A and B are shown apart, each in its own frame.
Chain A
């Protein structure tokens, strides 16, 4: 069974540009979450999507957005890039079959997209 796939693995952008990152969850997984990892702030939760709807959101500015498609694939977008957006962006998927079945809520992570903003 294929794991979580993130593309691209590496990305270099300049300030002011925008970027789109892609995540394909494990087959059958319905929930996709995004995290930002930096040396200074560690792993921080960005948002979570379930059934094409944003279900949870972390404390990030509106420049960070995402969406989920009907096949559970997800994209996140960062507009007007800043130097501080340089980070490893990790995507995680989980089965999340629904209420009362939280035993399936283990998140499995992709290898991440390393974004460098120059």
Chain B
């Protein structure tokens, strides 16, 4: 069975600090997809990134970067120079198979960036 663990329930940082959100997943499939979503107070989940199991290349997008390591089953997310607008709940998710429609979400990490 697939499972996603986000060990950090809540993190508080001061603006401009770097912060890393951890995600560890479990799956028996060789084909799977990993996602990060952001949920601001408005409630809507905002898609941030998707990675498939065959692509371990790390990615950087502006202040965001992702580190995917199959050897440790981790897909960590780093925000560089955090801003107050980054305050939200961040979810890591896993979907299996070629269709990958059945998502399993981690419990989420609530990030508070203080001015």
Q: Which residues of A contact B (CB under 8 A)?
A: 31, 33, 35, 42-43, 45, 48, 50, 55-56, 58, 88, 90, 92, 94, 96, 99-100, 102, 105-112, 114
- Pick the contact of A96 from B46, B52, B91, B99 — CB < 8 Å? B99
Q: Is the pair A90, B103 in contact by a Cβ cutoff of 8 Å?
A: no
Determine whether B62 belongs to the interface, using a CB cutoff of 8 Å to chain A.
no
Tell me if A's interface is mostly helix, strand, loop or mixed.
strand
Knowing A43-B105, A108-B47, the reply to whether A102 touches B37 (Cβ < 8 A) is no
Task: List 23 contacting pairs A-B, 8 Å CB cutoff, sorted by A.
Answer: A35-B103, A42-B105, A45-B103, A45-B104, A48-B101, A55-B101, A58-B102, A88-B43, A99-B98, A100-B98, A102-B100, A105-B99, A105-B101, A106-B35, A106-B47, A106-B50, A108-B47, A109-B37, A109-B45, A110-B44, A112-B43, A112-B44, A114-B43
Q: Report how many A-B pairs have Cβ atoms within 8 Å.
A: 62
**By the criterion of a CB under 8 Å from any partner CB, how many residues of chain B are at the interface?**
24
Q: Is the pair B47, A94 in contact by a Cβ cutoff of 8 Å?
A: no
Residues of chain B from 61 to 115 with CB closer than 8 A to chain A in the complex: 91, 95, 98-108
Query: Please, which residues of chain A bring their CB within 8 A of the CB of B47?
Result: 106-109
- Pick the contact of B100 from A92, A100, A105, A108 — CB < 8 Å? A105
